[in-house]
Structure 1
Amino acid sequence: MVTVRIKSKNKQAKALIEMLRTFSFVEVEEEQRYNAETEKAIQEVRKGKVVKAENSEDLFKQLGI
């Protein structure tokens, strides 16, 4: 058995992975970097859905804690 790691961030890498999937003797396993909840949180941060606070007291006030 041989293990090959491919960083699938560009078109060429994605095309290679899709081509490899067509072979019956190749098994492609995708590694999940984070769990679903963490992935969702990362996407929200990228979209700007964050709470900004001056300090912890301000943060707790905004969160209603």
Structure 2
Amino acid sequence: MSTSNIIIVHPGSEDKFEALKAFMKAFKIKFEITKESPYDPDFVAKILQGDEDFKKGNFKIIKTEDLWK
């Protein structure tokens, strides 16, 4: 039997994760668990730094009409 369907699940909590894992085991569905992020670590670091800067007040407000000046 060949399968080409892939399902990516984000359970959101440990309880849901365990329930999904038990369900897949009960139905003998093959699955992998990975903690790898699909995002480039440098990109994630920049986003997190931007969040920190914003929380510290390090940002600039630009009016819509000034965006293309």
**Fold match (TM-score > 0.5):** no
1 or 2 for the larger relative contact order (CA 8 Å, sep ≥6)? 1
Question: Structure 2-normalised TM-score?
Answer: 0.39
Question: Structure 1-normalised TM-score?
Answer: 0.40
